């Protein structure tokens, strides 16, 4: 029969347990910090899983460039098959290409170029001088283009801005007429918030003012899909040379009003600068366009 002796540890253990409970009751319990709490952790990691949709970032004004939306809207389907003797290689460049190695391009067979001069009435290309004069310096025939933003100012206003900031023309046989780059809006609504008739009026306003300032018909750069959607496939600008955008083995169906293209942007991943083009004719035809 167990005998309880004086000094047995049981009363002592009970005393210590009671004391511990009392001490704990006096110590405040601090909640988990925001960084440590499960809800905060879930919040902090939300959006990092691979199946969460990502909203495209709108680019900064001024960063638009020729062909910026072609691959996304029309896709890419090969390159021109073979080399036609009746076509002349060219390139188009903007500020994102920086200082271009024109000698490298010339040695690879490139004979003409277009350089972005302006956008809207708020941007001029900081590399324009190097790009424009650099192409000329190696022997190329060169021209300038304007990225249109019909939702910001009128066509005539933008034509004036373009001519005043590098988009003019001279009868030196080495300067191509300016190009109106009219395509998908990288900053918002595809058709810049305009109806088809409103877009046609804006384009006409630009072209008329450009001709009034320079005496030349501006080149129109566009894609068939954009032109169909945003102008209703308007057929009234056939007097202006067409520069078609299509990354494929052929230029494909052209916008209404044109039976042939003058230039064709066929890739954005060509050598040296990415954006490469074909002029629909031998080098003497490029020079003929420059002369007017």
Q: What pLDDT does residue 78 have?
A: 59
Q: What pLDDT does residue 142 have?
A: 98
C-beta neighbour count of 24 within 10 angstroms: 9
Query: Which of 36, 39, 74, 183 is flagged as catalytic?
Result: 183
The answer to whether 92 is a known catalytic residue is yes
The answer to whether 181 is a known catalytic residue is yes
Q: What pLDDT does residue 156 have?
A: 98
Three-class SS state of 222 = strand
Percent helix, strand, coil in the chain, to 5, is: 35, 20, 50
Is the sign of the CA dihedral 275, 281, 283, 285 positive or negative? negative
How many whole angstroms separate alpha carbon 108 and alpha carbon 115? 18
Q: What pLDDT does residue 59 have?
A: 81
Q: What pLDDT does residue 56 have?
A: 60
Buried b (16+ CB within 10 A) or exposed e, 210-233: bbebbebbbbbbbbbbbbbbbbee
Greatest CA separation for the chain: 125
How many whole angstroms separate alpha carbon 263 and alpha carbon 177? 13
Q: What pLDDT does residue 111 have?
A: 97
Q: What pLDDT does residue 176 have?
A: 98
Q: What pLDDT does residue 202 have?
A: 98
Q: What pLDDT does residue 67 have?
A: 67
Quick one: which of 190, 175, 186, 154 has its CA closest to 67? 186
Query: In which element (H, E) is residue 83 found?
Result: none
Is the Cβ–Cβ distance between 89 and 278 less than 8 Å?
A: yes
Per-residue pLDDT of the chain (292 residues; tens, 9 = 90+): 444 444 444 444 444 444 444 444 444 433 333 333 323 333 333 333 334 444 468 888 877 776 666 656 666 565 666 555 589 999 999 999 999 999 999 999 999 999 999 999 999 999 999 999 999 999 999 999 999 999 999 999 999 999 999 999 999 999 999 999 999 999 999 999 999 999 999 999 999 999 999 999 999 999 999 999 999 999 999 999 999 999 988 899 999 999 999 999 999 888 999 899 999 999 999 999 999 8
Query: Which of 74, 119, 181, 277 is flagged as catalytic?
Result: 181
Supply the pTM of this predicted model. 0.77
Q: What pLDDT does residue 38 have?
A: 29
Query: Which of 92, 119, 275, 277 is flagged as catalytic?
Result: 92
C-beta neighbour count of 165 within 10 angstroms: 18
Across-strand partners of 248?
A: 77
The answer to whether 183 is a known catalytic residue is yes
Report the residue count for the chain: 292
């Amino acid at each position: 029969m167990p005998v309880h002796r004086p000094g047995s540890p049981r009363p002592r253990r009970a005393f210590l347990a009671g004391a511990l409970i009392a001490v704990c009751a006096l110590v405040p319990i601090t909640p988990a910090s925001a960084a440590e709490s499960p809800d905060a952790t879930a919040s902090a990691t939300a959006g990092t899983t691979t199946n969460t949709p990502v909203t495209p970032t709108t680019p900064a004004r001024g960063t638009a460039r020729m062909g910026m939306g072609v691959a996304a809207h029309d896709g890419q389907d090969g390159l021109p098959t073979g080399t036609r003797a009746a076509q002349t290689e060219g390139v188009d460049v903007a500020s994102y290409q920086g200082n271009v190695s024109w000698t490298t391009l010339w040695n690879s067979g490139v004979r003409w170029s277009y350089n972005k001069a302006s956008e809207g009435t708020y941007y001029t290309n900081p590399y324009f001088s190097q790009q424009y004069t650099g192409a000329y310096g190696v022997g190329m025939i060169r021209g300038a283009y304007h990225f249109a933003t019909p939702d910001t100012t009128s066509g005539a206003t933008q034509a004036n801005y373009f001519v005043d900031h590098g988009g003019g023309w001279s009868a030196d046989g080495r300067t191509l007429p300016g190009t109106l780059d009219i395509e998908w809006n990288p900053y918002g609504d595809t058709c810049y918030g305009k109806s088809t008739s409103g877009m046609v009026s804006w384009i006409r306003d630009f072209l008329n003012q450009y001709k009034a300032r320079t005496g030349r018909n501006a080149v129109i750069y566009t894609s068939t899909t954009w032109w169909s959607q945003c102008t209703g496939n308007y057929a009234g600008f056939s007097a202006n040379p067409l520069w078609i955008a299509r990354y494929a083995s052929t230029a494909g169906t052209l916008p209404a009003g044109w039976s042939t293209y003058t230039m064709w942007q066929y890739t954005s991943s060509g050598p040296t600068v990415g954006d490469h083009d074909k002029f629909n004719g031998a080098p003497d035809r490029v020079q003929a366009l420059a002369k007017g």
